[in-house]
Amino acid sequence: MEQPLENLELHLEMFIENVRQINIIVSDFQPQGQNGLNQKINSLVSGLQEVEKLKNQLGDVYVPFEVFEYIDQDKNPNLYTKDCMDKALTKNEEVRGKIDSYRKFKEHMLVEMYKTFPNEMYQMYRAIRPE
């Protein structure tokens, strides 16, 4: 048994191919091609009916709105995922840099506090780690 998403993807690919073929027929329409056009349109309608049936097998699927913007701009929707990963990696590097800066600041601050307040720092250290 095919997975519901794979089955839907297959039907959508067939639907897209039918639309492409209809576009070719219509762009250079000849009266003798009317029967072929009618068959393609009927195939298109039955494809949409099949997609309608398949939607009940899927349940709720969240698709980010930005994916539709990519499609409207004639971009591959897979680029959305790639762009999200690139943004996440960039943000991760930025946060990692901040963490390193805070860590270095903490180390520097502890050294300076020990130089300025050696007794208090020793007592605080002993309070935290008695043995």
Q: What are φ and ψ of residue 74, in 5° steps? A: 60, 35
pLDDT of residue 1: 42
Domain end, chosen from 61, 93, 110, is at 61
In this structure, are residues 21 and 43 in contact, taking their beta carbons and an 8 Å threshold?
no
In this structure, are residues 53 and 65 in contact, taking their beta carbons and an 8 Å threshold?
no
Say whether both 87 and 42 belong to one domain. no
| Residue 124: domain span | 64-131
Record the pTM. Answer: 0.48
Residue 22 in tokens: 């209809």
Helix/strand/coil for 38: helix
Chain segment 5-32, per-residue pLDDT in tens: 788 888 888 988 989 888 888 888 888 8
Chain segment 37-79, per-residue pLDDT in tens: 899 899 999 988 888 888 777 777 788 889 889 888 988 888 8
**Any idea which residue has 């913007």 for tokens?**
69
In this structure, are residues 40 and 18 in contact, taking their beta carbons and an 8 Å threshold?
yes
Domain count for the chain: 2
Domain end, chosen from 61, 85, 111, is at 61
